[in-house]
Copies of this chain bind each other. A is one copy, B any other.
């Protein structure tokens, strides 16, 4: 059997279809599909990706077999079009384009008008009666061919064109005459001869072979190799070549070109929507030199409503277009973005693809397509990118507003915010109280800044990564944040920051976009998020299909309420450390830290107990009927110590010791690597009374809530376990306290005790740990840090360089690293279940709200994911998609 290297597409005979992307490339498969549907696609043929591989293998030669099949396909196109390739009177011209299995933009440019030469240009001029058009087409072809096929540096040609325009005092190309173009072609050919030593090829077949070879060769140009490495595309796929007959929208006033959407891409409304230009080519619509006209009345807006619609100008083409768009949408079952060209009153379709759209439109379209019985719910769920739901939930910049971008940091928490710069959290809180919109700008934030963060409209930091304190807390609050903006030099003392040479003072207006990481000068107007009515029903479908539970990470009643409104089914991570910073508590916390013995420590903890009880009670009430997973104290104690002198003095006075002593003891608590230091359950191993107080507070609050008719399901989570014995000992401690409280209150509360799996050793020995745990919660933030040996707060300095070099497809703190960290998660799930089949498992790292990670969690057999409140809908949709894809 001989290999089939070439697949033709035309109204008469089409050999491919949209399922053949590996062989025909995306573009080729799609052209074949449309041809088969009987749509007016200019005929042509596709040379397969296998031919590309053969070309490489044969030492960059197109074998005779391929050549034969190309020639045959070409003659079929000639017979369908009634034109001849290389004919001098009515020449068949081609576009030649690359087309790989997946889109690789920028890999290779297009060659249009292939087949023209010194003779046929004259024939075309005669045929169209438009000499200027013919010569303009020819000089464009020479320019593209020289660049793309001959690898010629076209700046030489472009300079000549510029010189000519200057001589003619012409501003635009359109002001040049047919004669001018004719002269230019002469000069072009001369330059090419001088520079390359070869004449510009006049034989159309010769042009075609060289163009096909150039496309094949482009698969292995350095740019394409780099692109594939970055995007993880295999090098052995190859590219196809699409050779398609030319149609011209610029052949006169009965010709034209346009782009249309089958629904409104901004709102999703079911209206046919588009723009066009008569006597123009595709580039002209995009270039914005002329204002495009609306295709119909729906498409009119302020800037184009004076112009005639396509419906008015050429009703027949418009009607055909309507017929086609309906056919395409029904066929592809999705909103289409269609490119068309009209040549002398005849409509051609050049491309169709699923149209880009806003998140609101995506949801509405998916919902409508279900109502229209075009999609079922499962299919509809797959049509919305979960990440895009972000747009629906946060305020954003007015897209029409002008903006001066100063610099870009990490897009740490989406949404746009505008306000005045404030470098100090206390000041931020005060100024916010008096009604000022404030942007908090810090070197980095720490738990002490919580008050300032709550008060400000947005947060900007110079240091820290996607999961730095600022980023995590801001996402929890649903507050815009740009983090790790290393171009920023902040000088607290002078109350100013520098970006390059620009200096901004405290109080200067600033705007940030936490979705893009952009930092902008002055005030850029923002618009509030609008949530469509379709959103709720769409999310309900997601809930029908998903198998993963979705919880939220929330530390207070307010965040919990937001999350419940977004559909959270419980709290997966309630951090207790943020609760320690309120002014009335922090002194007791510091007293506890500075205690020299257990008795003093217990005395200080006694003071904290009522506050903690109140904290938990508030959360239990909001979460009525839903589980609340509370992590016991996690950070190293030195995080709670004062930094400023007046605070230190206050503490010295309170503890009745010297300032020197405060400083000496603080110094002793410092650590080289706090992330790997005396924190988590290690605190409780050395000071068991800390966790005992917290467990008591949880249980007393739970009993109080229960007595008030609230349904409580507390889960006590012990962090940073690395040894089964740690959990065993601390669980025993907790159980003793619980028993005592139950006795005291003469009542009981259903509860669980478990652990975070956030250290590689915990994952490895999960089978042992499971003996002492009712649940595992994967703390993938810390697990990622330890598995990679990568501090999230320090990685901002070098991770961008990794991403740029293609060393990391994506920040592992954003999307879970499935082959590294994921290996440990899967191992722990497997070993944990071996020990205890019904052990409950979830994830509470930031990954719990990231779609690819959610899908991983689904596959790994976890019971739930937990994420920040504003990501709950994203997680719900991602979980549904994972379930649908699996089934």
Is A726 positioned at the interface, with any CB of B under 8 Å from its CB? yes
**Which residue of chain B has its CB nearest to the CB of A807?**
B725
**Out of B664, B758, B764, which one reaches A824, CB within 8 Å?**
B764
**Which residue of chain B has its CB nearest to the CB of A468?**
B672
Task: Give the shortest distance, in Å, between A660 (CB) and chain B (any CB).
Answer: 10
Are A808 and B723 in contact (CB-based, < 8 A)?
A: yes
Task: Give the shortest distance, in Å, between A217 (CB) and chain B (any CB).
Answer: 24
Task: Give the shortest distance, in Å, between A808 (CB) and chain B (any CB).
Answer: 7
Are A674 and B676 in contact (CB-based, < 8 A)?
A: no
Please choose the segment from A285-293, A337-345, A786-794 that sits at the chain B interface, where 4 or more of its residues have CB less than 8 A away: A786-794
Please choose the segment from A739-747, A815-823, A863-871 that sits at the chain B interface, where 4 or more of its residues have CB less than 8 A away: A815-823
Complex alpha-carbon distance, A390 and B673, angstroms: 32
Is A128 positioned at the interface, with any CB of B under 8 Å from its CB? no
Please choose the segment from A75-83, A505-513, A678-686 that sits at the chain B interface, where 4 or more of its residues have CB less than 8 A away: A678-686
Complex alpha-carbon distance, A41 and B377, angstroms: 88
Are B782 and A761 in contact (CB-based, < 8 A)?
A: no
**Which residue of chain B has its CB nearest to the CB of A486?**
B668
Is A532 positioned at the interface, with any CB of B under 8 Å from its CB? no
Complex alpha-carbon distance, A641 and B664, angstroms: 25
Are A673 and B793 in contact (CB-based, < 8 A)?
A: yes
Is A666 positioned at the interface, with any CB of B under 8 Å from its CB? no
Please give me the 9 A-B residue pairs with the lowest Cβ-Cβ distance, nearest first. Answer: A676-B791, A673-B791, A761-B820, A677-B794, A760-B760, A759-B789, A672-B793, A673-B675, A671-B794
Interface string of A258-273 (1 = CB under 8 A from B): 0000000000000000
Q: Using Cβ atoms and an 8 Å threshold, which residues of chain B touch A823?
A: 764-765
Give the one of A761, A787, A805 with max B CB within 10 A: A761
Q: Which residues of chain A from 765 to 794 have a CB within 8 Å of any chain B CB?
A: 765, 782, 785-791, 793-794
Are A678 and B787 in contact (CB-based, < 8 A)?
A: no
Is A484 positioned at the interface, with any CB of B under 8 Å from its CB? no
**Which residue of chain B has its CB nearest to the CB of A819?**
B765
Are B801 and A788 in contact (CB-based, < 8 A)?
A: no
Are B790 and A722 in contact (CB-based, < 8 A)?
A: yes
Q: Which residues of chain A from 796 to 851 have a CB within 8 Å of any chain B CB?
A: 797-798, 801-802, 805-808, 817, 819-821, 823-824
Q: Using Cβ atoms and an 8 Å threshold, which residues of chain B touch A791?
A: 671-673, 675-677
> What are 28 residue pairs bridging A and B, where the CB atoms are less than 8 Å apart in the complex?
A672-B674, A672-B675, A672-B791, A672-B793, A673-B673, A674-B794, A676-B785, A676-B786, A676-B789, A676-B791, A676-B794, A678-B798, A685-B798, A685-B802, A685-B805, A723-B807, A758-B789, A759-B788, A760-B786, A760-B787, A761-B787, A761-B817, A761-B821, A764-B819, A764-B823, A764-B824, A765-B820, A782-B789
Is A720 positioned at the interface, with any CB of B under 8 Å from its CB? yes
Is A489 positioned at the interface, with any CB of B under 8 Å from its CB? yes
Task: Give the shortest distance, in Å, between A139 (CB) and chain B (any CB).
Answer: 42
Is A307 positioned at the interface, with any CB of B under 8 Å from its CB? no
Q: Which residues of chain A from 715 to 739 have a CB within 8 Å of any chain B CB?
A: 720, 722-723, 725-726, 729
Complex alpha-carbon distance, A760 and B824, angstroms: 9
Are A797 and B678 in contact (CB-based, < 8 A)?
A: yes
Complex alpha-carbon distance, A685 and B804, angstroms: 11
Q: Using Cβ atoms and an 8 Å threshold, which residues of chain B touch A758?
A: 789
Task: Give the shortest distance, in Å, between A483 (CB) and chain B (any CB).
Answer: 13
Interface string of A484-514 (1 = CB under 8 A from B): 0000010000000000000000000000000
Complex alpha-carbon distance, A797 and B687, angstroms: 12
* A798 in contact with B764 given A674-B673, A805-B729 (CB within 8 Å): no
Copies of chain A in the complex: 2
Are A682 and B819 in contact (CB-based, < 8 A)?
A: no
Give the one of A671, A672, A786, A789 with max B CB within 10 A: A789
Task: Give the shortest distance, in Å, between A687 (CB) and chain B (any CB).
Answer: 10
Are A673 and B782 in contact (CB-based, < 8 A)?
A: no
**Out of B674, B675, B764, which one reaches A787, CB within 8 Å?**
B764
Q: Using Cβ atoms and an 8 Å threshold, which residues of chain B touch A674?
A: 672-673, 794
Are A820 and B764 in contact (CB-based, < 8 A)?
A: yes
Q: Using Cβ atoms and an 8 Å threshold, which residues of chain B touch A729?
A: 805, 807
Give the one of A489, A673, A726 with max B CB within 10 A: A673
Are A820 and B722 in contact (CB-based, < 8 A)?
A: yes
Interface size class of A (residues with CB under 8 A): 35 or more
Are A685 and B807 in contact (CB-based, < 8 A)?
A: yes
Task: Give the shortest distance, in Å, between A795 (CB) and chain B (any CB).
Answer: 8
Are A788 and B807 in contact (CB-based, < 8 A)?
A: no
Complex alpha-carbon distance, A677 and B686, angstroms: 28
Give the one of A664, A797, A806 with max B CB within 10 A: A797
**Out of B489, B676, B824, which one reaches A790, CB within 8 Å?**
B676
Q: Using Cβ atoms and an 8 Å threshold, which residues of chain B touch A795?
A: 677
Complex alpha-carbon distance, A786 and B806, angstroms: 25
**Out of B672, B723, B785, B802, which one reaches A794, CB within 8 Å?**
B672
**Which residue of chain B has its CB nearest to the CB of A723?**
B807
Task: Give the shortest distance, in Å, between A460 (CB) and chain B (any CB).
Answer: 17
Complex alpha-carbon distance, A686 and B799, angstroms: 9
Complex alpha-carbon distance, A685 and B798, angstroms: 8
Complex alpha-carbon distance, A782 and B760, angstroms: 13
**Out of B759, B789, B805, which one reaches A720, CB within 8 Å?**
B789
Q: Using Cβ atoms and an 8 Å threshold, which residues of chain B touch A806?
A: 725
* A675 in contact with B678 given A786-B786, A801-B686 (CB within 8 Å): no
Complex alpha-carbon distance, A424 and B671, angstroms: 22
Complex alpha-carbon distance, A671 and B788, angstroms: 17
**Which residue of chain B has its CB nearest to the CB of A761?**
B820
Q: Using Cβ atoms and an 8 Å threshold, which residues of chain B touch A723?
A: 807-808
Are A787 and B790 in contact (CB-based, < 8 A)?
A: no
Task: Give the shortest distance, in Å, between A244 (CB) and chain B (any CB).
Answer: 38
Are A798 and B765 in contact (CB-based, < 8 A)?
A: no
Complex alpha-carbon distance, A720 and B686, angstroms: 32
Task: Give the shortest distance, in Å, between A596 (CB) and chain B (any CB).
Answer: 14
Q: Using Cβ atoms and an 8 Å threshold, which residues of chain B touch A675?
A: 672-673, 675-676, 789, 791
**Which residue of chain B has its CB nearest to the CB of A817?**
B761
Known contacts A675-B791, A760-B787, A764-B819; 16 further A-B pairs (Cβ under 8 A): A673-B674, A673-B675, A675-B789, A676-B676, A677-B797, A678-B797, A682-B798, A685-B798, A685-B801, A722-B788, A759-B788, A759-B789, A760-B789, A764-B823, A782-B789, A786-B787
Complex alpha-carbon distance, A657 and B671, angstroms: 31
Q: Using Cβ atoms and an 8 Å threshold, which residues of chain B touch A801?
A: 685-686
Are B489 and A726 in contact (CB-based, < 8 A)?
A: no
Q: Using Cβ atoms and an 8 Å threshold, which residues of chain B touch A807?
A: 685, 723, 725-726, 729
Complex alpha-carbon distance, A729 and B764, angstroms: 30
Complex alpha-carbon distance, A172 and B807, angstroms: 81
Give the one of A764, A765, A785 with max B CB within 10 A: A764
**Which residue of chain B has its CB nearest to the CB of A763?**
B760
Q: Using Cβ atoms and an 8 Å threshold, which residues of chain B touch A677?
A: 791, 794-795, 797
**Which residue of chain B has its CB nearest to the CB of A682?**
B798
Complex alpha-carbon distance, A725 and B798, angstroms: 15
Complex alpha-carbon distance, A671 and B444, angstroms: 12
Task: Give the shortest distance, in Å, between A84 (CB) and chain B (any CB).
Answer: 52
Are A788 and B761 in contact (CB-based, < 8 A)?
A: yes
Interface string of A644-676 (1 = CB under 8 A from B): 000000000000000000001000000111111
Complex alpha-carbon distance, A782 and B806, angstroms: 26
Complex alpha-carbon distance, A805 and B729, angstroms: 10
Give the one of A674, A791, A817 with max B CB within 10 A: A791
Complex alpha-carbon distance, A352 and B678, angstroms: 47
Complex alpha-carbon distance, A676 and B781, angstroms: 14
Complex alpha-carbon distance, A785 and B674, angstroms: 12
**Which residue of chain B has its CB nearest to the CB of A797?**
B678
**Which residue of chain B has its CB nearest to the CB of A722?**
B788
Task: Give the shortest distance, in Å, between A604 (CB) and chain B (any CB).
Answer: 20
Complex alpha-carbon distance, A764 and B791, angstroms: 19
Q: Using Cβ atoms and an 8 Å threshold, which residues of chain B touch A824?
A: 760, 764
Q: Using Cβ atoms and an 8 Å threshold, which residues of chain B touch A820?
A: 722, 760-761, 764-765
Complex alpha-carbon distance, A725 and B671, angstroms: 32
Q: Using Cβ atoms and an 8 Å threshold, which residues of chain B touch A760?
A: 760, 786-789, 820, 824
